[in-house]
Structure 1
Amino acid sequence: MKDITSRADVETLVNKFYDKVIKDDVIGFFFTDVAKIELNKHLPKMYNFWESILLGNPVYEGNPMRVHFPINEVVALEERHFNRWLQIWEETVHENFEGQNTETAIARALNIARIMHHKMMNARS
């Protein structure tokens, strides 16, 4: 297996992740029923987000935290949800890639989940 080194790799990873996550029994409903994401609009944003993080190309514009607060108001984003998101992400990453950027993808996702969980929990307090 190879490392994540290109936009095409990022797109492969994100596509495979979303193939799994939207069908997941624990968190899939956030994507399909709560946020009702349109994959054709959502995926390019995720490609840009992860390309910015993993490849250092500043192509992402937006505030990922801001878009999750309305979801959290409808259904609380709980620690178990973030843990499941991380589990699926890590599985998908390791099934398809290996190397420095691969490990960075997992480490950064862990940090993102921790920060997001903290902010979502405080927003409900």
Structure 2
Amino acid sequence: MEDIKNREDIARLVVAFYEEVRNNTEIGPFFNRVITDWEEHYKQLTDFWESNLFHRGTYKGNPAMAHSGMDKASGHTVEMKHFGTWMRLWITTIDEKFSGELAERAKNNARKMSTYLFLAIYRGRS
């Protein structure tokens, strides 16, 4: 298997991953409730991961605000276990498609991001 090399690889990863998320009975309802344009979501997340992995400024957004909004729309029911499910799906999808330094960085950066986002959601509830 090859490593993540470019935007096209990231787009392939993002689409495959969110197909898993959308169909997951535990976390799919959170995403399906708030995302109305999946193609736009794929583009935004491709921009996010391209910026994250290749240090490009393509992403223009606020992940903490987006996730806090999702939590609010879900009656403040997002829990840490949901981030665990998200991480399991993310790591599994990466491992099925890629291997190498950037693939590992994508997993490690997602671990850090999941903690940050959960804390942002928690703080947003007060």
CA contact (8 A) 1:78 1:121 kept: no
1:57-105 Cα distance to aligned partner (Å, 9 max, x none): 2111111111122221132221011110000000000110000000000
Report the equivalent of 1:19.
19
Q: Is 2:17–2:89's contact at 8 Å kept on the other side of the alignment?
A: yes
Alignment check: 8 A CA contact 1:16 1:92 kept: yes
- Alpha-carbon offset, residue 44 of structure 1: 0.5
Runs of at least 4 residues off by over 3 Å? none
Match of residue 68 from structure 1: 67
Q: Which residue of 1 aligns with 2:39?
A: 40
CA RMSD of aligned residues (A): 1.1
Structure 2: give runs of 5+ residues left out of the alignment: none
Unaligned runs of 5+ in 1: none
Question: Identity over the aligned pairs, expressed in percent?
Answer: 31
The normalised TM-score by structure 2 is 0.93
8 Å contact from structure 2 (residues 31, 70) kept in 1: no
Distance 2:3 2:35 in 1: 32
